[in-house]
Structure 1
Amino acid sequence: MDAMVTGRMSQAKKELGNQVLRELGTNASQVINELYDYVISRRALPFSAPEEERGERLRAAVTAVDAVPKVELDARFAAMDVRQARMERLSDDGLMGDGR
């Protein structure tokens, strides 16, 4: 047996919404069922607030960064700027020749 879900809204909103849903070839029951299916399968709302989305993206980014393996820095590079470190690495790989 099917259960009913009750929600409150203004009569004008209901009438306008039902008109738009008809134009889209659906109805309130179908939309509510699809919403529930979405929430159940994803455990999230399809229209999350932007702050929530930013927070989720930030948490995912932090998790990704934390998952990057830590490596020991070669001490000879510690005092170099990026350009100097690149030049040093290129010379180590034999790519710079004698003149660096």
Structure 2
Amino acid sequence: MGLFDFLFGNKTKKIDDFKSRGAIILDVRTKGEYQGGAIPDSKNIPLQQLSVRLAEIKKWNKPVITCCASGMRSGSAATILRSNGVEAMNGGGWFNLSQKL
């Protein structure tokens, strides 16, 4: 186990676990950013709309991997989702996450 695994956990293993359980990729960038490039089959709900769309997300009844441009907004989104009873993790930047999927 490396230092980063110790400090931050092994993100690839967690992503694999979430994927094996049918995780939904949730991109929380703006619509314009999302249209400029995104992970195929991901869903786009901008961070600003997340709170009003929680009921919709809960109906998915699946774990959620959040992503954005750099990992900052997706970190906030994952925290909001977890605090509302949704199993969620921050996948970081969408392009880097796409390389791990």
Normalising by structure 1, we get a TM-score of 0.21
Q: Which structure features the higher share of helix residues?
A: 1
Higher relative CO (CA 8 A, sep ≥ 6), structure 1 or 2? 2
Normalising by structure 2, we get a TM-score of 0.21
